[in-house]
Structure formats: C-alpha cells, structure tokens
Amino acid sequence: MIQGKRPSRAAFQAALCMALLILLATPTHLRSQSNECKVAFCLEGIGNAESQEENTTRSSEIGSVADAWRASGGATSQTIGITEPPASPLPQDCSLTFVRLCGRTAAAENWFSASMMTPQSGAVPRGLTADGEKSGDGSGPRSVESRQNSKAAYLNDDVFYKNRLEFSLDGGWLPINIPFVFDVFLGDGYTMTDLKYTLVPMIASLRWQIDDAGGPWILRGNWDLEASAAVTLIPRGPETRYFAWIMGFRRNFVPRRGRIAPYFDGRAGLGDINAKEPLGILYAQGQDFTFTLNMGSGVRYNFNSRYSISAGLNWMHISNLYLSQPQFPNYGINVYGPMFGIDVRLGKPHRGSE
C-alpha cells in the first residue's frame, strides 16, 4: 500500500490565498449588482411617477420582503457580506434625482404654457379687438371710436328737433328787488318802494319744440312753445303765496357740437295773490287778480337725448295793470334771482338716436 504524500506547507498557503481572493471578489460583484438595482429602481420610480398609489403599494411589498428577510436570520447576508437590507425600495440618491427631475419638468411645462398660450402684456392677437371681438381688417376699434365721437358731437341734434315734447320742473330763489324794467315805455322814473319781496317760484312746464335746429353760426337754434303752471311762495313780503298760469316762448341756441345749449325765454300769464293793501298795508298789492311776466336766460346741459338740466337767472313781475286804481295804487313786485331746472323728454327718441 502506497502512502500518499502529505501536502506541503507551500501548497496549503497557496490554497488559502486563493480562497481569500474569491471572498474579496464576491462583495465587489455584489456591489455592482446593487448599483444596477439602484438604477433599475430609479427608472422604475420615474416611469411610475404619475401613480403615487402604485409606488406606495410597491414600497409596502418590498418592506414586507425586508421584514421577512430579517426574520430569516440574515443567513444570506453572512454569505454575501451584507449586514442590512436596503432601508427603502427607492434609494435616497435616486429619489432626490427623481424629485429634481420632476421639478425641472414642471418648470419647463409652466414656461412653455406661459410663452405659447398667454399673449404678451398689452398685445392683442391679430384679428381681435381689445374686448375680444373680431376686427375684420383692423378698422373695428377705430370705427367704433369714431361713431362714439360722432354721437357725442351731434347729440344736440337728438335733443332739439321739431315736435319734441318735454316736461320741465324749475325752481328759483328771487330775492333781489329792482324797478320795473319796462318803465321806459310807461313814462315812469324807475322808482322803488321801501317794501321788499322775496319770491320762491316752482314752475312745472310742458314744452313743444315747433321746429328743427337751424340758422347761421351762433344764432343756430330752434323755438319752444311753453305752457306752465306756477306756485310761488313769498317768504318776505306782506303776501304769502301766488298761483299763476303762464305761457310763452323759449329760444334755444344750439351749437353743432357739444352738450351745452344757451337759452332765452319770455312768458306772460295771470294769477291770484292774497293781496294785503286792501287791509291797510302800504305798498302791498291792491287786489287778488294780477298779471305776471317772466324772463330768463341760462344754459342747458344735455346728459343724453332724454335728460337735461338747466341753470340761469330769472326775472319775475307781478302787478294788476292798474286795475285797482284809483282805490288802491298799483305798486307791483319786481324781483330776480337764480333758477334751476330739470328737463325730461316725453315719448320716443328722435330717429332711433338711442
């Protein structure tokens, strides 16, 4: 029987070195596999970024596998040299890369939407007006503006025209006493008494424009026929009230452009006053039945073809035309002051102006 030779010490050392080399090579190979797994996890996380529930479910499943791996004692870890399983299904460096990638993608999307879908400040797309309407050849906004300017310029032609009917309400405060303005025709000397009056007339009128606006330059205008009912309070003077019915004409001076139109009017009528001279008050009115004259001038502002306001000065005269003489002298009342009014069109607008 032949005995085998004992292995030499050198052979034993060589085998030991080979085993150590194998063991050292194994973790490197495993680390490369781990990096490949990390890349796979990154790609898989990016591909499923739109479904967060799916990632959450996958994380819980991998976490369960990790728990089971820990319960098994980690035998494989001792073999391959890994002491702990991955802490999460998506490595930290990969998750940060994924978040940054998503942020950059969202920013790029917002920039693209802002630059392509939103017009620049102050810019209007071609073929549209500022209010979103089609402009055709681009003359839409300019034509609308020109129509508006034309409407404002020729508004007076929609206010002063033949057969227009208006209702007006005027009120005044007439505290300034003066002589009778037509004394020159009566031979009187523009005398005044010591008795002073203040009249507060409130006049409701119906106006009918009897012609269209016409005439040269500053004389261009038309005429109103006025019928009015007046109630006049007398806060200063022996009498306290005056009722009158008056009629007359108004001349409107109508410029071709603008909203303002000057006017001049004259009216005459008759009325009733609670005369106090028969009761012994000197310089008061001699009888109840009297006549009245009104003259005024001012300007009228037209808001539109329906509503207008006016402001001016008005003179008012009350006397009995010497009917109370010789029993009672006729002194009369002559006052003037500011007058304000509002005018409202009655009926339909003129020529479809509205």
Q: Which residues pair with 265 in a beta bridge?
A: 250, 296
pLDDT score for 127: 46
Query: Given this model, what pLDDT does residue 80 score?
Result: 42
DSSP 174: B
Matching residue, tokens 């930290």: 92
Q: Sorting pLDDT into bands at 50, 70 and 90, what band is 154?
A: low
pLDDT at 36: 47
Q: What span, in angstroms and rounded, lies between the C-alpha atoms of 217 and 256?
A: 9
In the prediction, which pLDDT does 50 show? 46
pLDDT in tens, 237-271: 999 999 999 999 999 999 988 899 999 999 999 99
What whole-number percentage of the chain has pLDDT above 70? 55
CA-closest candidate to residue 175, choices 16, 346, 341, 333: 333
pLDDT of residue 18: 73
CB 275 within 8 A of CB 262: no
CA torsion 343-348-353-354 (nearest 10°) is: 90
CB < 8 Å & 24+ apart, contacts of 328-332? 328/277, 328/278, 328/286, 328/287, 329/277, 329/286, 330/286, 331/193, 331/195, 331/277, 331/283, 331/284, 331/285, 331/286, 332/180, 332/285
In three-state secondary structure terms, 16 is helix
User: pLDDT band at 329, cuts 50/70/90?
Assistant: very high
Q: Reply yes or no: is the peptide bond before residue 255 cis, omega within 30 of 0.
A: no
Mean pLDDT over the full length of the chain: 75
The three-point CA angle 264-268-272 to 5° equals 135
Tens digit of pLDDT for each residue in 208-221?
A: 999 999 998 889 99
Q: Which fold has domain 162-348?
A: Porin (2.40.160)
Decide if pLDDT at 235 tops 80: yes
Question: Alpha carbon of 179 to those of 73, 195, 274, 275: distances in Å?
Answer: 128, 12, 22, 20
Q: Which residues pair with 348 in a beta bridge?
A: none
- Domain locations in the chain as residue ranges: 13-105, 162-348
Q: At what angle do helices 92-117 and 9-47 cross, to 10 degrees?
A: 30
Tens-digit pLDDT profile for residues 289-325: 999 999 999 999 999 999 999 999 999 999 999 999 9
Cα(276)–Cα(283) distance, integer angstroms: 9
Confidence of residue 182 (pLDDT cuts 50, 70, 90): confident
CB count in 10 Å sphere of residue 34: 13
Considering the entire predicted model, what is its pTM? 0.58
Whether the Cβ atoms of residue 211 and residue 224 lie closer than 8 Å to each other: no
